[in-house]
Amino acid sequence: MASISPPPSFTPKIPQQIHDVFLSFRGEDTRYTFTSHLYAALTRLQIKTYIDNELERGDEISPSLLKAIDDAKLSVIIFSENYASSRWCLEELVKILECKKNNGQILVPIFYHVNPTNVRNRTGSYALALAEHEKRRDKNKVQTWRLALKEAANFSGWDCLGTRNESELVEQIAMDILQKLDTITSGGLERRINTYNQNAQQKLEKSLRTGNLADMLELITTLYQLAELKLEKATKSNDSSDWDDVLATYERIKQLKQDKWMRKFFSKKNKIKKKWMRKLNAQDLEELKAARNHVLHIQREQFNSKMGFRGI
C-alpha cells in the first residue's frame, strides 16, 4: 500500500477574537494613518475591533470578512478619496447596510479628507471610480453600489475635512463609539465611568510628565465629562457615597484649575499678572460654584421626592 505524503506545511490563519466594531476602510488611503490611530484609540478604550490586515486579492470578498461584518454590533465606514475605487470596500458597504437593516447594526460614517456631498451625490473621485467599475462590471452591481453610497452618506457621522487636530478628533470619535455601544449593552454607564477614570489617569500621568498646559486642559475636560457620568449614576442610586464621589471629582477639577492659573500666571508679564489673575479666578470659581450647587440641588430634589416633599 502506497504511503500517503503529508500535505505541505502551512501556517493557519488565526481568526480574530469576537469583536464589537468592524472597520471598513481603503487600505492605501488610511491603513497606516487615520485608521491605525482610530484602531489604537478603540483598543485603549478596551473596545474589541476587527481590522482586516490582509491586502485585497481577487474580485470576491472573503466569506470570513462578511462574517466579521455580520458579527459586529457597530461598523465604522471611513470614506476616503479612493474608497469607491475598491470593489471590496463597496461590497463591505452593501453588507454593512444589510446588517443595519436586518440586525439593527449601528453605522458610523467618517468622511476623511473627502466632502460628504461627493459621497452622497457620487461626484468627484467617487464618480470617476464608479465610471471605471461600469467598464468592467455588471451595471446592476454598480447601481447597487451607487445606492449604497448615497444611503450611507445620509447617516449622521464625522467630517474630517476641517483643520481640527486629528489626534483629538480620533479620541472624540472613539468615545462616541463607546457611548453608542453602551446604549445597546448592559452595564453601559458603569463601563463608561471606568473608561473615563482610566482615561483621566492616563492624562494625569501625561500632564505630570510633560508639564504642558494643553495636556492639563485635556485632563480637566475629561474630568468634567467624568463628573457628568458620575452625576447620572448618583441620580439613579440610593448610595450617598455616589454623591460624595461626584463632589470629590469637582473638587479635583478645582485643584487642577488652581494649578492651571498658577502656570498661566507665571507666564504673564509682571504688570498684568494681578489683574488677569483676579479676573480668571473669579470666572472659574463661579463656574465651579454653579456646578457644585447644581449637583447639590439635584441631590436635594431627589431626597425630597423620596420623602414625598415638593420643592418650592
- As annotated, the active-site residues are 92
* Dist. CA 246–CA 40, nearest whole Å: 30
* Dist. CA 24–CA 22, nearest whole Å: 7
Contact 61, 91 (CB under 8 A): yes
Look up residue 125 and give its three cell numbers: 473621485
* Dist. CA 26–CA 125, nearest whole Å: 13
Q: Which residues of 64-99 are buried (b: 16+ CB within 10 A; e: fewer)?
A: ebeebbebbbbbbbbbbbbbbbbbbbbbbbbbbbeb
Beta strand residue intervals within the chain, DSSP E: 21-24, 49-50, 74-79, 106-111, 158-159
Residue whose C-alpha is closest to residue 80's, from 118, 43, 121, 128: 118
Tally of CA atoms within 13 A in the half-sphere of 113 that contains its CB:
11
Q: Could you give the C-alpha distances from 200 to 150, 169, 219, in angstroms and in order?
A: 39, 17, 6
Q: Bridge partners of 50?
A: 22
Q: Bridge partners of 78?
A: 110
* Dist. CA 246–CA 171, nearest whole Å: 24
Within the chain, how many helices (H) and strands (E) appear?
12, 5
